Structure 1
């Protein structure tokens, strides 16, 4: 079994930003007038699902991926299900942040720093996410959330020990949801990195 990265993961952030952000995005966001009728149906669904008023501009990242409205629809069906899912929001954001850090995904990282803070994560805890599941200060449950991400990325499977720890606190629906959560946000990171989606803050989270 490949060894998961359970400790501090350091990388050259400016070099990664140059690779995944500079001269991007690779496709320009559509205007709402350019979005296809099929895509506009998804715009309505997203506005309703996340209570986005008509007066608020639709996110550029969505207006880029709406170039493929069928794929966008599939992504959003899963995304909405995970956003309203059975895993508590704070737990979800711990997992997404560890995934985004290990994937060196500046857009996903910066977006979920803001989301994580909205659900109660502190700057100190976000610091600790970059230090991994073995960092002191986590509860056993929190450490297992991070460890699960590390194992899924390294070996595409959770260990019995990590599974058993999470199963002490989570029910079967949450256990079924968790690998899908990690996989979904990895898929999103691959797309956003490759499209060079422009982040608000990159890897700076203070």
Structure 2
């Protein structure tokens, strides 16, 4: 982990009048223009698309909030993205995820004796496979498909994929350091 500042200068909210409407939309959706979005505003089209995609993943998912947040935490751990992990702990707690379950997401490899429910465990196993190996073994996919079908299955895979994108951008640009 580096303590260097972000590799791309953030755009401070309110400093570029042409971004005012976009900053207002981000703040309305997220409560603030976070350091991540300040960096993303270097490319207004990317910031817009990012906000649309991540809002769909976070706010319109068919997954339980607990499964969604545990998967996000796990991806952050695997990709060594502490800023993302720390940002999502309060969301996990608000979703009713226990501190023990949050702490267990930090264990690599995954602990056998973890406090997760069956659906949480298989979702986390999927997150591990997609993040570490990209390909998902057929046997694991069959276990995932037994618990998540249709929109839930797509929402789960999209959540893992989207948060791999988030954490990789954060790490590459050293956002939040």
Using the size of structure 1 for normalisation, the TM-score is 0.75
Consecutive unaligned residues in structure 2, runs of 5 or more: none
How do residues 115-154 of structure 1 correspond to structure 2 at under 5 angstroms? 115-131=91-107, 132-136=109-113, 137-154=115-132
Moved >4 Å (runs of 4+): none
Equivalent in the alignment of 1:72 = 47
For the residues of structure 1 that align with 2:88 and 2:14, how far apart are their CA atoms? 29
Equivalent in the alignment of 1:5 = none
* Greater alpha carbon shift after TM alignment, 85-94 vs 158-167: 158-167
**Of Structure 1 and Structure 2, which has the larger fraction of its residues in helix?**
2
Q: What secondary structure is seen at the aligned counterpart in 1 of 2:5?
A: coil
For the residues of structure 1 that align with 2:78 and 2:84, how far apart are their CA atoms? 11
Consecutive unaligned residues in structure 1, runs of 5 or more: 1-15, 200-206
Asked if 1:30 corresponds to 2:14, the answer is no
Match of residue 47, structure 1, among 27, 51, 61: 27
Q: CA RMSD in A?
A: 2.0
Asked if 1:192 corresponds to 2:167, the answer is no
Structure 1 position 36, deviation (Å):
5.3
More relative contact order in 1 or in 2 (CA 8 Å, sep 6+)? 1
Match of residue 63, structure 2, among 81, 87, 107: 87
Using the size of structure 2 for normalisation, the TM-score is 0.86
Q: Report Cα offsets for 1:80-105 as digits up to 9, x if no partner.
A: 10012111111011111111101111
For the residues of structure 2 that align with 1:187 and 1:36, how far apart are their CA atoms? 28
Q: Is the 8 A contact 2:8 2:173 kept in 1?
A: yes
Number of residues of Structure 1 aligned to a counterpart in Structure 2: 174
For the residues of structure 1 that align with 2:73 and 2:14, how far apart are their CA atoms? 34
Q: Is the 8 A contact 1:128 1:135 kept in 2?
A: no
For the residues of structure 2 that align with 1:133 and 1:143, how far apart are their CA atoms? 9
Structure 1 position 167, deviation (Å):
2.6
